[in-house]
Amino acid sequence: MGVTNRRVAVRHVTPSVEAGRYPAKTSRGELVVVEADVFADSHDLIRAAVSWRPQGRRRWHEAPMRPLGNDRWRATFVPDDLGRHEFRVTGWIDRFGSWQRDTRKKLDAGVATDVDLAIGAELLAEVHGDATGPDAALLDALRAELLDASRPHAERAAAALTDATADLVARNDGRRFATASDAYPLRVDRERARYSTWYELFPRSTSPEPDRPGTLDDVIARLPYVQAMGFDVLYLPPIHPIGTVHRKGRNNNVQAQPGEPGSPWAIGSADGGHDTVHPELGTLDDVARLVAACQDHGLELALDIAFQCAPDHPWVREHPDWFKHRPDGSIQYAENPPKKYQDIYPLDFESPDADGLWQALRGVFEHWIAQGVRIFRVDNPHTKAFAFWEWCLNGLLDEHPDLILLSESFTRPKVMQELARIGFNQSYTYFAWKNEKWELEEYYAELFLTEVRDYFRPNSWPNTPDILTEFLQYGGRGAFVQKLVLAATLTANYGIYGPPFELMLHEARPGAEEYLDNEKYEVKHWLLDQPHSLAEMIRLVNRIRHENPALQQDRGFALHHVDNDRMFAFSKRDPRSDNTVLVVVNLDPHWTQAATTWLDLPALGIDDPDATFEVHDRLGDARYVWRGPRNYVELDPHVSPAHVFVVKART
């Protein structure tokens, strides 16, 4: 560092992902909270501002920062545009403000002198050089007053010492020797990246006729059912031709019987690969019609991207270089030794033709984007190279900033976080397995109260075709409702795999956390209209989400103490709409639990520790008047395992 007159330091800017190497994530219309340590040597007052702009634009927007104490400063802004942005923090010495402060003290102590006022006039003259129009005249008048030796000091200084003058000077201040931080990247996704409600179904199981598999047209017919429950994303497992070589049979048998349909994730056959629609499901045109029909039903189509190949995938023949070869010339199938998955060939990310492979994979996304698809659920991204994702996803997002890319990775935490950091804008989580209070508290504190929140957007799923937890297997209806409420309120993005979820299917293949007679390997004909269906409950929960902005974002999260280890309480608050939701859950799916809360009242927007306030349970529709932090709660899981309270301060 060379000689400089910049005296202000700007440190620890947040949000910042890996010191600004990766963009923090936000969404259009979401409040971005920027903080930084801003301070100078000595005792001068300082000012700070955050400025931001969409990348590539010339003009910066700016918002003044406010001091929070301990040299921490904060400003907020709301981006209007999609895509990559940058922001930076600037700090500078507030010379005139420092003079105001010191001169007030001197006047109070009766020690102000002509020289002190002349210093103020000098500072105004300096600012005047930057001012134009009426401000310049105002500055002139203030200077003349300060220098008017005919009047007492206090009178001469009065106008110069007002807040209005501070504002006048601030808006004309040339900010001499200001320090600007590096520019930090920020990616603005669309609203649905922040708040979305997913429903997964297998198209081949949507046929109304038991003697034929479903088609994309049958999916269109199913849309009103999905819409009625309040979902806004319809996600389909891969819709491509399914491999015939080493095809898996029912219940994951290594050899399919003739006529068995195979797993949709074993992609590719003589009928085509990742750019082709399974002939039994329909055609590319049908996909386009489905995209439009979804739109008509307030839904959006999400497709599955699973970068792996069945042995009869066209790429195996056309691009043998994209696969690993064994010394005997055969292609390396997937393994988890000693288990073999001979129906799947992984792609080789150390391929000598990595360039061709990367381009082809990105091409798969582009192909479906051209059909109007903007949401992708990406299968097992952690088994593909990070560098590929970083290149692919950033390229895609720069070109199509309305994309939503959900990482389906259930692996070690740092790998899941890395995938989010390098580009995925939604991520599956460990939610399905977090049943104990301490697990929930620890996990959501990590997701929402650490820097992870700046890049990792959780999407909670109580079940998937691969996941039927013991909790759901044995917990009964109480467990299903509890997991539904938690998924829908903990995170603004959640989804279920239906119809097994709403029909509360709970029988597992023995010894596995997986459905018995898994739909992955067979065609189902679901009977939807059953008295025990949770469809109505799901509709209610999704309506509560729809009505409460606090549940449509993942900020303003707080944990609340409850003196019972089987009860869990948290809140989410959206300060702009003044909407606060407090959720209290009985984690025990079988027995009634009761407890006293010890609420973090400020997190609920309540400052007075003795205030009375109303909590309105939107699940059960009961209203209570509570007072202070300690309140009694009791929940019978057979009635309702949770309160979803809207909190209203009384005025």
- Which residues does the annotation mark as catalytic? 379, 408
CA of residue 152 relative to chain centroid, distance = 60
CA 78, CA 355: separation in Å to the nearest integer? Answer: 39
Report the SS3 class of residue 377.
strand
CA 215, 218, 223, 229: dihedral to nearest 10 degrees? -100
CA 197, CA 473: separation in Å to the nearest integer? Answer: 23
Q: What separation in angstroms does the CA of 509 have from each of 19, 327, 506?
A: 46, 37, 10
Q: What residues pair up with 645 in beta bridges, in sequence order?
A: 582, 617
Nearest CA to 333 out of 317, 345, 321 is that of 345
Q: Answer yes or no: are the C-beta atoms of 587 and 435 closer than 8 Å.
A: yes
Q: Answer yes or no: are the C-beta atoms of 580 and 599 closer than 8 Å.
A: no
Q: What residues pair up with 414 in beta bridges, in sequence order?
A: none
Q: Answer yes or no: are the C-beta atoms of 462 and 496 closer than 8 Å.
A: yes
156/384 with CB nearer a second copy: 384
Q: Answer yes or no: are the C-beta atoms of 266 and 260 closer than 8 Å.
A: no
Report the SS3 class of residue 177.
coil
Name the pairing type of β-strands 593-598 and 612-617.
Answer: unpaired
φ and ψ at residue 568, rounded to 5 degrees: -130, 135
DSSP 234-266: EE----S-B--TT--BGGGBSSPPTT----TTS
3-state secondary structure 592-605: CEEEEEECCHHHHC
CA of residue 569 relative to chain centroid, distance = 21
CA 611, CA 31: separation in Å to the nearest integer? Answer: 28
Q: What separation in angstroms does the CA of 134 have from each of 125, 139, 161?
A: 15, 9, 19
CA 387, CA 557: separation in Å to the nearest integer? Answer: 33
CA 214, CA 510: separation in Å to the nearest integer? Answer: 28
CB of 119 to a second copy, least distance (A): 6
Q: Answer yes or no: are the C-beta atoms of 203 and 498 closer than 8 Å.
A: no
Residues that bind a second copy (CB under 8 A): 1-7, 9, 11, 18-19, 37, 39-43, 70-71, 101-103, 105-106, 108-109, 111, 114-115, 118-119, 121-122, 177, 326-328, 330, 335-338, 340, 349-350, 354-355, 358, 382-387, 390-391, 394, 412-415, 418
Q: How many residues does the chain have?
A: 651
